[in-house]
Amino acid sequence: MSMRIGFIGLGQMGFPMFLNLLGKRLDTNTEMVGYDKSSDHMAGLRRDWPDAAPYLAQDEAALADLDVIITMLPNGAAVRESLLGSADNPALVDRLASNATVIDMSSSSPMDTRALADILAERNVQLLDAPVSGSVPKAREGTLAIMVGGATDIVERMRPIFMAMGSKLIPTGAVGSAHGMKALNNYVYAAGLLAMSEALLLGKALDLDLSVLIDVMNASSGRNVATETKAKQHMLHGGDFKAGFGLRLMAKDLGIAASLREHAGFNPPQLDLCLSLWQQACEQLPPEADNTEIYRYMAARLGAYL
């Protein structure tokens, strides 16, 4: 497979994904170019990663004639602007190669993704939505789980690209389905982390051994990703509260999940409550707070002791 691949969004998740893709180039003729709109960030990457520097674009003009463009941006609005342009920037989609493929690996609204897919199709560009599950360490290891929505033949053609960044690829159906499933998955995770945090605070009030409490959960029906990979590793006994996924990103994904209620025609009450608590935590905690900080936020909110 010989092609020209661009990667937009070289942040905490995007840059290690780009490095893995760069390190596992599918063919000696495959060209790679990475870009982030922050010139300061790009300068820092060139300084700190000299081996990757030749593959980092000097400006957006280097993104022309791409066969594949991968986006890993904060939200769907940023993806749309990067592709369709704005008053200050020409549309990138009009500078792509014929029959190009856009792979949006951001966490975006499935309804917005479907609308964007229709706009791109009018320009003979195909869209796959391919959000990832896993934090920064998994992005570095190349062991992300990747959901992908879109035409089966295009998904299979792009499979080697996905497997350079992740260890599991899950086709989810039509365009937009992967973004929908990612939002709902993150809701279930956020609810589990929140419930575990409250249980730990209750356990602390009862003078229980919290490590043993987590062992009980992990051997019983209370087991979830938070109990298995967050509590002892990042939250208890002087934990670092650095699990690799921002609290604000979690709140954003909960907002996407909550927006689906308009399409569904009903309002899930637990989702509404969960979103409200995470949004309030965002207001109280610093911008860089990790999602595991919800534990300390709930302790302060409830007047409990850690």
Q: Is the pLDDT of residue 87 over 80?
A: no
- The residue whose two tokens read 């009903």 is 266
Query: How high does pLDDT run on average in the chain?
Result: 93
Domain with CATH 3.40.50.720 in the chain: 4-174
Average of pLDDT values for 50-55? 93
Q: Is the pLDDT of residue 26 over 70?
A: no
Average of pLDDT values for 140-155? 96
CATH of domain 180-302: 1.10.1040.10
pTM of the model: 0.91
Q: What is the pLDDT of residues 174-216, one digit of tens each?
A: 999 999 999 999 999 999 999 999 999 999 999 999 999 999 9
* Catalytic residue check, 37: no
Percentage above 90 pLDDT, the chain: 87
- Please count the other Cβ atoms lying within 10 Å of the Cβ belonging to residue 227: 23
Asked: is 4-174 a CATH 3.40.50.720 domain? The reply is: yes
**Catalytic site residue from 37, 138, 168, 182:** 182
Q: Around 115, how many Cα atoms within 13 Å sit in the side-chain half-sphere?
A: 10
Confidence of residue 27 (pLDDT cuts 50, 70, 90): low
